Amino acid sequence: MSLSFQELGVRDDLLRAIDDLGFVNPMPVQEKVIPHLLHEDSDVVALAQTGTGKTAAFGLPTLQRVDTTTNVTQALILDPTRELCLQTASDLADYAKYMADVRILPVYGGSSIESQIRALARGVQIVVATPGRLLDLIKRGKVDLSHVSTVILDEADEMLNMGFVDDINEVLSHIPEGRKMLLFSATMPPEISRIAKRYMHNPQEFVIGSRNESSDNVRHIYYMVRADDKYLALKRIVDCRPRIYGIVFCRTRALCQEVADNLIQDGYNADALHGDLSQAQRDMVMKKFRERNLQLLVATDVAARGLDVDDLTHIISFNLPDDNDVYNHRSGRTGRAGKTGTSIAIIHSRERRKLKEIEKHIGKQFERREVPKAEEIIEKQLYSLADRLEKVDVQEDDIAAYLPGIAKKLSWLSGEDLLKRLLSLEFNRLLDYYKNAPVLDIVEEGKTKSARGEKKPPRTRSEKDSRVAEKGYERVFINVGKANGFYASNLIRMINAKTPGQHIGLGRIDLLPDYSLFDVQAGEARQVIAALKNEEFFGRKLYLEVAVEGKDYSRRGGKHKESAGVEVKKNRRERRMEQFATAEKNQGRGRRGRSRVERPEDPFSKFKKKKNKR
């Protein structure tokens, strides 16, 4: 039977605060760590997954041991990111709600260092810091760590992954020898062991679950598709889960932005989070996501560190990470606090070996699923609509004035007819979109095509590059693409800026490396082309034209070439033969004042000359 927080030795004022927060019973890491920190002096290494209650495990004892009669800094908590730093400081402030005279200060980059210096000068007992900003303050002589008795490394493995090992060593060199040191981590890489051996004294180790094991509350699923079908698979997975609230992880910043732009363009409630965003943009995106104004956050692993969000239903790996521990961090963001969660990986055939490595690392097996088909998606979406109708909050007084007129207009419809029409609003849209949708799954070895449905036929070049506009739209070519840093959001902003007060209906946007193609409503293509004429994108003059079906827009030498079934790039032998032919043709032209093309020297001529001399 689980002990209560009171039985663990937590003080009354802290008990009142955590009771206000809804804490009932301690989680396993809290049950093991809190009594030790309150009653023992030895250092602690605690290994537990993200979201298992580590902040309260070290936060409650730290607050209980602090001396509020003096303003010197007594406890230092190091966090890897600004976001986690702020989150930890906020949680400690919640726990200290009924404690008088306790001061907690978050110290991080991206905020005014002068205001942090002024707060330190007034005196704080607990400093929560990122390593970089703390070192800056140490070098300026603005923070005094000589009285620190407790040092906590929070998410230590993430700090090492981000390259903070030297910074941590530098910070710890300024802490008194007799301090108590606590290290909290999800995994135990060799660098963590070295830090523990160098700076800790016979630490007590607490392992919640098994080392490197994923949470028991997380289900692991994978879908295997062709690499260029991953985005289509992602959309179907999301469509089949109407109530999804999750993070989509991508390997690179560019891919992250591209996936987010495409989701937004396709009508999904999504946004991107990556290192190319300013701090203000990051804060805005995370605020919207925490408040559930976003359903999907498309993020890189580095950018998502420190993003502490409860109740995530799904984690989706658009790319598998190189480091197996990183997958553990990803999946650990769902299935928290006793709730269940799902971690989904969208892979192609070359990633199967990597998936097996991750399975071995986390001690769990992935379930293979088929990418949802049209019937399954339509059924889930209609049931979701029915659920929303059932639970909608009806504003009786506000709607009463409009009911008689609407009821009169619809009086000829029976209840069943009305329901059919209501559901058809969603059903017709889905049916039209998923009509003749191909099977995306890769057929497993040893299975026939009929075992998993007909395999999708190979796509032609024009299908791959989406030359044909959708019905009711015109296709437009623009001479910038992903290689130029051009994304859907750039196009939308440019069109809005150059067509003020007008509504330009944009359709599908296809971003290629050197150029892009996009749909606008029929009759508006010329207007858009004229609006963006002579505009520049980061010094590159824009060129737009109505896209012609069958035209090859791949750029070579700055000219657009028509597809003629002839390979543009010739091999070396063909080019050399052409040079010889051109030289023969132009022999003697130099006498008539025209340009003279010298015949390339025969590479074996010097050997022939020697032979003739002999």
* Averaged pLDDT of the chain: 80
Per-residue confidence (pLDDT) for residue 247, from 0 to 100: 95
Query: 100 to each of 37, 63, 126, how far by Cα in Å?
Result: 22, 11, 14
What pLDDT score was predicted for residue 366? 93
Per-residue pLDDT for 241 more than 60?
yes
Considering only residues 264 and 384, tell me which one the structure prediction assigns the higher pLDDT: 264
Enumerate helices (H) and strands (E) in the chain, giving the number of each: 25, 22
Q: What is the mean pLDDT of residues 297-302?
A: 89
pTM above 0.85, yes or no: no
**Number of neighbouring beta carbons within 10 Å of residue 248:** 26
CA-CA distance, 6 to 449, in Å (whole number)?
62
612/265: higher pLDDT: 265
Q: Which two tokens stand for residue 430?
A: 């889905």
| CA 335-32-159 angle, 5° bins | 60
pLDDT band per the 50, 70, 90 thresholds, residue 29: confident
At 355, the pLDDT band (50, 70, 90 cuts) reads very high
With cut-offs at 50, 70 and 90, classify the pLDDT of residue 577.
low
User: With 90 as the cut, is the pLDDT of residue 76 above it?
Assistant: yes
Residue type, 221: I
* CA pair distance 289, 296, nearest whole angstrom: 8
Torsion angle (degrees, nearest 10) of CA 275, 279, 281, 283? 110
Predicted pLDDT at 66: 92
Which of the four pLDDT bands, split at 50, 70 and 90, describes residue 503?
A: confident
Contacts by residues 31-34 (CB-CB < 8 Å, ≥ 24 positions apart): 31/2, 31/3, 32/206, 32/208, 33/57, 33/58, 33/61, 33/206, 34/5, 34/8, 34/9, 34/10, 34/60, 34/61
Contacts of 553-556 with CB under 8 Å at 24 or more apart are 553/465, 553/477, 553/515, 553/517, 554/514, 554/515, 555/479, 555/514, 555/515
Which residues have C-beta within 8 Å of that of residue 199, sequence separation ≥ 6?
172, 181
Q: How confident is the model at residue 354 (pLDDT cuts 50, 70, 90)?
A: very high
Count Cβ atoms within 10 A of the Cβ of residue 388 and give its class: 0-12 exposed, 13-18 middle, 19 or more buried: exposed
Beta bridge mates, 76: 127, 151
Confidence of residue 563 (pLDDT cuts 50, 70, 90): very low
Whether the per-residue pLDDT at 608 is higher than 70: the answer is: no
pLDDT attached to residue 459: 45
Residue pair 509/477 in contact (Cβ under 8 Å)? The answer is no
pLDDT at 77 (0 to 100)? 94
pLDDT at 555 > cutoff 60: no
d(CA 214, CA 45): 18
Give the distance, in angstroms, between the CA of residue 103 and the centroid of all CA atoms in the same chain: 35
- Vertex 483: Cα angle to 482 and 484 (nearest 5): 85
CA distance 77 to 55: 10
User: What pLDDT is stored for residue 50 in this prediction?
Assistant: 63
Domains of the chain: 5-207 (3.40.50.300), 218-373 (3.40.50.300), 384-433 (no CATH), 462-558 (3.30.70.330), 572-613 (no CATH)
Q: How far is CA 402 from CA 194, 392, 412, 418, 425, in A?
A: 72, 17, 18, 17, 21
Residue with tokens 């991953």: 230
Buried b (16+ CB within 10 A) or exposed e, 142-164: bbebeebbbbbbbbbbbbbbbeb
3-state DSSP percent of the chain in helix, strand and coil, to 5: 45, 15, 40
Contact 331, 361 (CB under 8 A): no
Q: Say which residue, 481 or 557, is predicted with more confidence.
A: 481
C-alpha angle 418/423/424, rounded to 5°?
Answer: 95
Residue recorded with tokens 């299908």? 463
Share of residues in the chain with pLDDT > 70 (%): 82
Taking alpha carbons only, the member of 382, 376, 375, 324 closest to residue 353 is 324
57 touches 101 (CB < 8 A): no
User: Is the pLDDT at 571 greater than 50, yes or no?
Assistant: no
Residue 464 or 411, more confident: 411
CB 216 within 8 A of CB 333: no
Averaged over 583-598, what is the pLDDT?
44
Asked whether the predicted pLDDT for residue 495 surpasses 70, the reply is yes
Q: Which of 257-266, 322-331, 442-451 has the lowest mean pLDDT?
A: 442-451
Instruction: For residues 557-562, give the mean pLDDT.
Output: 38
pLDDT at 376: 86
pLDDT at residue 580 in the model: 55
Q: In the predicted model, is pLDDT for residue 161 greater than 60?
A: yes
356 pLDDT more than 80: yes
Q: How confident is the model at residue 468 (pLDDT cuts 50, 70, 90)?
A: confident
Q: Is the pLDDT of residue 411 over 80?
A: yes
What does each C-alpha distance from 598 to 354, 453, 580, 581, 609 come to in angstroms? 56, 62, 9, 11, 19
Query: Mean pLDDT throughout 187-195?
Result: 73
> What is the pLDDT averaged over residues 514-536?
88
- Mean pLDDT is lowest, of 46-55, 291-300, 461-470, 596-605, for 596-605
When pLDDT is averaged across residues 530-539 and rounded to a whole number, the result is 86
User: Quick check: 128 pLDDT over 60?
Assistant: yes
